[in-house]
């Protein structure tokens, strides 16, 4: 029997019966402490050990087992670019000693966009721990918001039946940062941008070349040039950045002396995934490094510092070998570029990471900076509304501007397109017809979420037509009674003009004897929008054609004057061969000063004829 000694009195306070005596006995359930062994024979003789056995506390070296909760994919919180309320679940733990372990984790209060590794730790309290990892992926599915007028009204462009309005882009907001900008798409056939032959001559100095690229699947055996400075396909001094058919990046360079050549390919592949990637090539002394999305992919030393100087153009999208149809000659780039930079220092990995997805401005050591943020996305950049956008500005202030070659500058390819940080474009025509046209503004954030806003563009024709009289003046000949009607629209000769279409009109007009001579008639030109203009057009009103021998009868309708044709019937002043009858109708006739001759003269009863002083009336057949 084993007794535990009391640390206070030394007396046995607990006993364990081992059963029948054996050469070797095992006692279980013992805690740490001091023990004496007592052996009692069957006749109850007792033998007690004179020494105390000390049992030390047990040592637990077995780590617990821990199982993480399932990986989580969740959306960003509404209005935020992070996820702030995420139920991670609970990890479970088992242990040989401690059955009540509660694993803990290092998850942040707010999870950023992308993948975050959460470490769960189980601690059994005896210094044994074990961890597992849970992946939390936060994705952005929240659409950008567009704010603009639902309807805008503009006037026609002067002298045109359409308009080239300058549309005000909507205000675009997003839960993640959004910057509306453009990029430049190269078609892989013959598009390239040349920046002159001075930039890119690094000599033996340090440098950094970086840009954002989005390249679809590279098909075929030929590599594609991203940036190059190579003259006439010669191999005595040049440098290139390329991508091959496996989607691997390549840096290739030859200096002006031997032992300095570089031709290395990244082991990582599939960067031709039509997604944006930031690439950077740095040289610091003899060390060349190549980074993709801030990660170091290539690091190589040359035997000495190469001298990179030649008279070649620095080209984006081709080298001078690209027109050679050979497998070894890298072809034109099929892809999209933006934020091209060259520095005269070797940027550190930290500097590259901190600025790779930031649109920079002019600063120290930055030799050239091309945002490619020009033109109109998915619009005609060669014509109205224009202007023609076939150059790329150097925003570093050093004037290494670029010239675009062979770009169609129209549509979604070989043109200015949406950039990395977000894009906004519309499907509006270059010219808007008169009336209402529906257009769509399409905003895309940098995570590919797209939202559309429809807008009505109403073009109002507010330009008056110009009424122009007929080239030949119309003539109206009165009838025998001194009347004649000019028909409606008789002046519509088609001379009037308008920016759209017009209808000419003039009123029905009846002319009388008193209107003989040149009269004015209004011509009205009216367009489809209701705009109108008038012109006073001349009309010649002529007397009827009457034979001189036709008898004239005095009617006195207009006045008493002999020489007024409106007083005669038919309306014509008598001539020397004209028989004349003087009736007693109307005004009494007066022969004014002057000599008048008629063939014959008959006065009806009650009629009078007065010849004024100085007047003379000769009758040839009295």
DSSP string of 364-399, one letter each residue? TTEEEEE----S-TTS-SSSTT-----EE--TTSS-
Secondary structure (H, E, C), 456-504? EEEEECCCCCECCCCCCCCEEECCCCCEEEECCCCCCCCCCECCCCEEE
Report the CATH number that the domain containing residue 438 is assigned in CATH: 2.60.40.10
In a domain, 369, yes or no: yes
pLDDT beneath 70, residues of the chain:
1-58, 235, 257-259, 383-387
In a domain, 466, yes or no: no
Per residue in 198-227, pLDDT (tens digit) is: 999 999 999 999 999 999 999 888 999 999
pLDDT for the residue numbered 197? 95
Same domain? 248 vs 306: yes
DSSP string of 501-532, one letter each residue? -EEEEE--EEEEGGG-EEEEEEEEEEETTS-E
In a domain, 126, yes or no: yes
Residues 230, 312: contact at Cβ < 8 Å? Answer: yes
Residues 508, 488: contact at Cβ < 8 Å? Answer: yes
Same domain? 187 vs 176: no
In a domain, 45, yes or no: yes
Per residue in 390-411, pLDDT (tens digit) is: 999 999 999 999 999 999 988 8
Instruction: Determine what percent of the chain falls in helix, strand and coil, rounding each to the nearest 5.
Output: 0, 40, 55
pLDDT for the residue numbered 249? 97
Same domain? 257 vs 329: yes
Same domain? 318 vs 364: yes
The total domain count for the chain is 6
> How many residues are given for the chain?
622
Report the CATH number that the domain containing residue 237 is assigned in CATH: 2.60.120.200
Which three-class secondary structure state does DSSP give residue 177? coil
Same domain? 337 vs 358: yes
Same domain? 508 vs 597: no
Same domain? 583 vs 441: no
Domain that holds residue 82: 65-139
Same domain? 254 vs 271: yes
pLDDT for the residue numbered 22? 56
pLDDT for the residue numbered 50? 58
Same domain? 480 vs 589: no
> Given the DSSP bridges, would you call strands 517-527 and 532-542 parallel, antiparallel or unpaired?
antiparallel
pLDDT for the residue numbered 31? 53
Same domain? 112 vs 219: no
pLDDT for the residue numbered 158? 95
Report the CATH number that the domain containing residue 502 is assigned in CATH: 2.60.40
In a domain, 467, yes or no: no
In a domain, 547, yes or no: no
Residue of 613, 568, 615, 570 whose CA lies nearest to 587: 568
| Last-in-domain residue among 433, 460, 487 | 460
Same domain? 216 vs 293: yes
Compute the distance between CA of residue 97 and CA of residue 111 in angstroms, rounded to an integer.
Answer: 35
pTM across the whole model: 0.68
Same domain? 299 vs 220: yes
In a domain, 567, yes or no: yes
Residues 247, 253: contact at Cβ < 8 Å? Answer: no
Residue of 390, 378, 362 whose CA lies nearest to 419: 378
Which three-class secondary structure state does DSSP give residue 109? coil
In a domain, 386, yes or no: yes
């Amino acid at each position: 029997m084993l007794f535990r000694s009391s640390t206070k009195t030394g007396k046995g306070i607990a006993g364990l019966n081992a059963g029948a005596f054996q050469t070797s006995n095992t006692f279980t359930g013992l805690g740490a402490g001091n023990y004496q062994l007592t052996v009692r024979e069957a006749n109850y003789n007792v033998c007690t050990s004179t020494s105390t056995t000390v049992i030390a506390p047990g040592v637990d070296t077995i780590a617990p087992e821990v199982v993480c909760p399932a990986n989580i994919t969740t959306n960003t919180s509404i209005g935020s670019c992070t996820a702030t309320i995420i139920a991670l679940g609970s990890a479970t733990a088992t242990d040989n000693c401690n059955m009540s372990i509660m694993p803990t984790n290092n998850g942040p209060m707010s999870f950023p966009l992308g993948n975050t590794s959460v470490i769960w730790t189980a601690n059994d309290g005896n210094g044994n721990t074990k961890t597992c990892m849970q992946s939390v992926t936060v994705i952005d599915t929240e659409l950008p918001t567009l704010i603009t007028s639902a309807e805008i009204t503009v006037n026609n462009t002067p002298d045109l039946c359409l308009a080239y309005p300058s549309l005000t882009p909507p205000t675009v907001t997003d839960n993640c940062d959004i910057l509306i900008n453009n990029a430049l798409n190269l078609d892989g056939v013959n598009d390239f941008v040349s920046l002159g032959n001075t930039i890119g001559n690094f000599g033996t100095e340090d440098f950094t070349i970086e840009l954002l690229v989005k390249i679809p699947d590279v098909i075929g055996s030929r590599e594609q040039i991203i940036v190059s400075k190579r003259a006439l396909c010669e191999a005595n001094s040049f440098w290139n950045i390329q991508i091959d058919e496996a989607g691997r990046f390549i840096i290739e360079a030859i200096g002006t002396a031997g032992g300095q050549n570089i031709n290395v390919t990244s082991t990582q592949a599939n960067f031709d995934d039509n997604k944006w990637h930031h690439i950077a090539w740095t040289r610091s002394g003899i060390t060349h490094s190549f980074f993709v999305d801030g990660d170091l992919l290539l690091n190589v030393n040359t035997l000495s510092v190469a001298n990179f100087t030649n008279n070649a153009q620095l080209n984006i999208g081709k080298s001078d070998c690209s027109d050679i149809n050979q497998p070894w000659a890298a072809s034109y780039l099929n892809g999209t570029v933006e934020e091209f930079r060259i520095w005269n220092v070797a940027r550190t990995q930290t500097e590259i990471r901190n600025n790779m997805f930031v649109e920079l401005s002019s600063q120290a050591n930055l030799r050239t900076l091309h945002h490619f943020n020009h033109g109109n996305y998915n619009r005609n950049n060669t014509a109205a509304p224009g202007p023609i956008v076939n150059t790329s500005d150097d925003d570093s202030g050093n004037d290494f501007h670029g010239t675009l070659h062979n770009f169609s500058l129209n549509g979604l390819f070989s043109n200015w397109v949406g950039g990395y940080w977000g894009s906004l474009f519309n499907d509006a025509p270059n010219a808007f017809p008169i009336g209402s046209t529906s257009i769509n503004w399409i905003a895309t954030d940098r995570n590919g979420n797209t939202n559309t806003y429809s807008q009505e563009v109403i073009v109002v024709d507010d330009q008056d037509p110009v009424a122009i009289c007929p080239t030949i003046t119309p003539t109206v000949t009165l009838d025998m009674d001194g009347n004649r009607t000019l028909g409606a629209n008789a002046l519509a000769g088609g001379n009037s003009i308008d920016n759209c279409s017009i209808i000419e009109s003039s009123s029905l007009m009846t002319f009388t004897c008193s209107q003989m001579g040149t009269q004015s008639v209004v011509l009205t030109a009216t367009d489809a929008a209701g705009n109108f203009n008038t012109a006073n057009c001349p009309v010649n009103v002529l007397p009827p054609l009457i034979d001189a021998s036709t008898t004239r009868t005095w009617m006195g309708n207009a006045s008493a004057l002999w020489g007024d044709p409106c007083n005669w019937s038919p309306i014509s002043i008598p001539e020397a061969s004209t028989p004349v009858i003087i009736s007693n109708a109307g005004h009494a006739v007066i022969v004014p000063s002057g000599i008048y001759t008629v063939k014959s003269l008959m006065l009806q009863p009650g009629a009078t004829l007065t010849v004024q002083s100085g007047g003379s009336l000769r009758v040839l057949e009295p």
